Structure 1
């Protein structure tokens, strides 16, 4: 899953943030890797001030989903770490909700071990004597 990070001029360490964000999102949202082509991260400092103050960091995550409209979430927090983690949690919930509906209604094709002949042979219950 490709992760692209965009930041405002007020956010430092873009390269380190991009590496960390990619690892974190791939770990947290790995179960959706069949369905997501990419995730775009937008980090901004809403008050554009070097000094802190309030809940001024905004993280917007937009997941590009195969065959569907993108799913986007936004989270505000006092620092960029909390803003990012909160947005990742919100995105995971939104994806679970969206794909849960698909699983119930459209029966989407998913990779599963239930159809693997080797697994089926190994799980067969032997006849009792």
Structure 2
């Protein structure tokens, strides 16, 4: 199972729970005390924040996969005609582009860790 698949399942589960709690709040609104209303609205708010966080993580994971694919394609191309690229002036530019993509991929991974609470900002 991919990380994006796991995140997607968690996100779907959170959305179902939000929908269920929202329906329960709507149906019992007139019978609930003020304290119960506050607790349920607070729970909905916390679920909404979690949903937004997991959506951000899912988007980062999808971007990471895209960058990884591009980087793999660049690496394959660099390996297949390494000597020809050294002889040509454009080889240096491709190498620079590859390094930039690697840095971007590393930054995406760092941001994903920060958003998911798995790392600390330096």
TM-score, length basis structure 1: 0.26
Q: Which has the higher contact order (CA 8 A, sep 6+)?
A: 2
- Structure in which a larger fraction of residues adopt strand: 1
Bigger radius of gyration: 2
TM-score, length basis structure 2: 0.28
